[in-house]
A and B are shown apart, each in its own frame.
Chain A
Amino acid sequence: MERPLTQHINFNRTSLNLKDYVSVGGYQAVHKALKSMAPQDVTKMVQEADLKGRGGAGFNTGMKWSFVPMNEAGQTKYLIANADEMEPGTFKDRMLLEGNPHQLIEGMIVSAFAIQANISYVFLRWAYKKAAWLIEHAIAEAYAAGYLGKNILGSGFNLEMHLHTGIGRYMCGEETALLNALEGKRATPRAKPPFPQVSGLFGKPTIVNNVETLSNIPHIINNGPDWFKALSLTSDPGTKLYGISGKVNKPGLWELPMGTTIRELIEEHAGGMKKGFKFRGALPGGASTDFLVEEHLDVKMDYKSVSAAGSRLGTGTMIILDDHTCPVGFVHNLEHFFAQESCGWCTPCREGLPWTEKILLSIENGEGRMEDLDLLEMHTHHLGPGNTFCALAPGAMEPLQSGLKYFREDFEKHINEKKCPWR
Chain B
Amino acid sequence: MLSKEEIRSIDHQIALVPVRRAACIEALKIVQHHRGWVSDESLHAIAAHMEMSAEELDSVATFYNLIFRKPVGRNIILLCDSISCYVMGYEKIYDHLQALLHIKFGETTPDYRFTLLPNPCLGSCDHAPALMINQDTYRDLTNEKLDDILKEYK
For the A-B complex with A89-B83, A125-B123, A166-B64 known, give 6 more contacts whose Cβ atoms are closer than 8 Å.
A184-B23, A245-B126, A253-B126, A329-B86, A337-B121, A340-B120
Q: Is the CB of B87 within 8 A of A167?
A: no
Of the listed stretches A22-30, A45-53, A80-88, A99-107, chain B binds A80-88
Q: Is the CB of A287 within 8 A of B22?
A: no
Q: Which of B99-125 contact A (CB under 8 A)?
A: 119-125
Cβ-defined partner of B82 (8 Å) among A251, A253, A287, A329 = A287
Can you report 17 A-B residue pairs in the complex whose CB atoms are below 8 A from each other? A86-B120, A88-B82, A91-B123, A91-B126, A127-B78, A128-B123, A167-B64, A168-B67, A169-B65, A184-B24, A187-B63, A245-B84, A245-B88, A319-B83, A322-B87, A337-B83, A343-B63
| B residues near A202, Cβ cutoff 8 Å | 18-19, 22
Known: A202-B18, A202-B19, A246-B87. A127 touches B82 (CB 8 A): no
Q: Is the CB of B24 within 8 A of A246?
A: no
A307 within 8 A of B: no
Q: Is the CB of A86 within 8 A of B121?
A: yes
Cβ-defined partner of B87 (8 Å) among A93, A245, A340, A341 = A245
Q: Is the CB of A89 within 8 A of B67?
A: no
B54 within 8 A of A: no
Q: Is the CB of B126 within 8 A of A251?
A: yes
Q: Is the CB of A185 within 8 A of B123?
A: no
Closest to B135 in A: A129
Output the least CB separation between B66 and chain A (Å).
4
B44 within 8 A of A: no
Cβ-defined partner of A184 (8 Å) among B21, B84, B122, B137 = B21
B132 within 8 A of A: yes
Cβ-defined partner of A90 (8 Å) among B21, B26, B125, B127 = B125
A162 within 8 A of B: yes
Output the least CB separation between B51 and chain A (Å).
12
Q: Mark A320-351, 1 if CB is under 8 A from B, else 0.
A: 11100100011001101100110100000000
Contacts across chains A and B counted by CB atoms under 8 Å:
129
B79 within 8 A of A: no
Closest to A171 in B: B63
Q: Is the CB of A91 within 8 A of B65?
A: no
How many angstroms between the C-alpha atoms of A222 and B15 in the bound complex?
Answer: 37
| A residues near B125, Cβ cutoff 8 Å | 88-91, 243, 245, 251, 317, 319
B48 within 8 A of A: no
Number of residues of chain B lying within 8 A (CB) of chain A: 41
Q: Is the CB of A181 within 8 A of B25?
A: yes
How many angstroms between the C-alpha atoms of A85 and B121 in the bound complex?
Answer: 9
How many angstroms between the C-alpha atoms of A162 and B122 in the bound complex?
Answer: 23
B59 within 8 A of A: yes
Output the least CB separation between A30 and chain B (Å).
24
A182 within 8 A of B: yes
Q: Mark B69-92, 1 if CB is under 8 A from A, else 0.
A: 000000000100111101110000
From B18, B65, B122, B126, residue with most partner A Cβ within 10 Å: B126
From B22, B121, B132, residue with most partner A Cβ within 10 Å: B121
Output the least CB separation between A325 and chain B (Å).
5
Output the least CB separation between B57 and chain A (Å).
9
A252 within 8 A of B: yes
Closest to A128 in B: B123
Q: Is the CB of B122 within 8 A of A127?
A: yes
Q: Is the CB of A341 within 8 A of B120?
A: yes
B97 within 8 A of A: no
Output the least CB separation between A80 and chain B (Å).
14
Output the least CB separation between A136 and chain B (Å).
14
| B residues near A127, Cβ cutoff 8 Å | 78, 119, 122-123, 132, 137
List 8 tightest A-B contacts by C-beta distance, closest first. Answer: A245-B125, A88-B82, A168-B65, A245-B84, A251-B126, A88-B121, A168-B66, A184-B24
Output the least CB separation between A272 and chain B (Å).
15
How many angstroms between the C-alpha atoms of A343 and B65 in the bound complex?
Answer: 12
| B residues near A333, Cβ cutoff 8 Å | 81-83, 86
